[in-house]
Amino acid sequence: MAKKEIKHPEKEKSTGAYSAGVEIDGWVFVSGQGPLDSKTAEVIRGSIEEETLLALSHIEKILRAAGCTLHDVVKSTVHLSDIKDFDRFNAVYKNFFKDVSVLPARTTVQSVLWGGIKVEIDVVAKKS
């Protein structure tokens, strides 16, 4: 049961003491991703739709680095800085997972988020 670190393939700077992803026994745990520039780790401010798409794009890249796809995601946790953004966030999320036959289980909560971002998403996937 050795743990393996999964790195974001484009990320050059870290914003904290954590791994982008960790794999153990075919399970892949992706740390919370937000709208950060891959090169500078600076926040990219935008609409909830833009920030959600960027966070999900980071997740997809980390999953690919682990040998997974969106089809392998079984659970996601979403933090929104303003729950009033839920419907707009959900439209982007739903479109991102449009080709997945079984959508992941999901929890969505309102949270105070680092750096003034609007959304942070983490996922758990199981390699098929």
Task: Please give the domain boundaries of the chain with CATH numbers for all domains.
Answer: 4-126 (3.30.1330.40)
Query: Which DSSP state fits 67?
Result: T
Summarize pLDDT for 70-102 with one digit per residue, the tens.
999 999 999 999 999 999 999 999 999 999 999
Where does residue 52 rank: exposed (0-12), middle (13-18), buried (19+ CB within 10 A)? buried
The pLDDT of residue 40 is: 86
pLDDT at 61: 97
pLDDT band for position 13 (cuts 50, 70, 90) = low
Q: What is the pTM of this model?
A: 0.95
Q: What is the pLDDT of residues 23-56, one digit of tens each?
A: 999 999 999 999 999 888 899 999 999 999 999 9
3 state SS of 111? coil
